[in-house]
Amino acid sequence: MIKMISLAFFITVAVATSGSTQEKIDPEKWVKQAEETYDKLDSYTAIFHKQERVNGKLLEEETIFLKFKKPFQVYMKWIKDPYKGREVLYVEGWNQGQMKAHEGGITGIVTLNLDPRGSMAMKGNRHPVTDTGIGHLIKIIRENIRRRMKAGGFKLLEHGEETVYRRKTRKVEVLFERDRTKGYYGYRVVINLDEEKKVPIKIQTYDWGDQLVESYGYENLNLNAGLTDDDFDPKNPECRF
């Protein structure tokens, strides 16, 4: 694990709510808490809300039932339109590195084995299935925040408490340099941190033109799902492969 960087580096903090008596968020602390929480996990389930801008167009939000288990095993079933009935299964080291996928409805009769980074699998997506999950989000947040701290500070805006997916969260906004050439993931990121679970349950990323490019949310997040390998078997009766 990367050695924690001291907050002796200059950080500009602007509190967006007035009269708040809450302790100010310490970026080192909550990144470390999120990492520790995730490291202890074996598996989890959630309703995954996903919206992305692809080729300049902001696509419709997708609602997906998600199962995840370590080492990397993921099953997704789309439970609302526009892709209701779609299923994807990917298990690291299985099926020659390919994911199984099919659409809903009549077309769902045919199951395809796809390269996760191939054109068919990537159509309408900013990321491959191998980037799915809370662990990837925490990694992106960690790397960008620590890099910016090392470079000399960043701006953290606190927006107080916000209820998201019926969960009590702290809403924070992190602003990086508004310069694409600096290599940060985006210009600004809005994060909802679940106060009890200690992990981000919603994250929205904006590009250097301040356009929303990604919005990911985890509703009904169960961090103690107790999943087994059978949950990621294509012969599982819950699947239609």
- Determine phi and psi for 136, rounding to 5 degrees: -65, -40
How does residue 24 score in pLDDT terms, banded at 50, 70 and 90? confident
Tokens of 112: 């395809």
The predicted pLDDT at position 44 comes to 98
DSSP class of 132: -
Q: What is the mean pLDDT of residues 77-100?
A: 97
pLDDT of residue 155: 86
Q: Compute the C-alpha angle 75/81/86, nearest 5°.
A: 30
Question: How confident is the model at residue 149, as a pLDDT?
Answer: 81
pLDDT tens digits along 37-81: 999 999 999 999 999 999 999 999 999 999 999 999 999 999 999
> Residue 84 corresponds to which tokens in the numbers above?
């209701």
Measured CA distances, 221 to 48, 66, 118, 167, 218 (Å):
9, 10, 30, 10, 6
pLDDT at 9: 27
Helix, strand and coil percent figures for the chain, each rounded to 5 = 20, 35, 40
Lowest-pLDDT choice from 86-90, 108-112, 194-198? 108-112
- Distances in whole angstroms, Cα of residue 9 to Cα of each of 5, 42, 150: 8, 35, 7
For residue range 94-133, list pLDDT tens digits in order.
Answer: 999 999 999 987 656 789 999 999 999 999 999 999 999 9
Categorize the per-residue pLDDT at 162 as very low, low, confident or very high, splitting at 50, 70 and 90.
very high
**Model-level pTM?**
0.88
DSSP labels, 159-184: EEEEEETTEEEEEEEEE--S-GGG--
DSSP 108: G
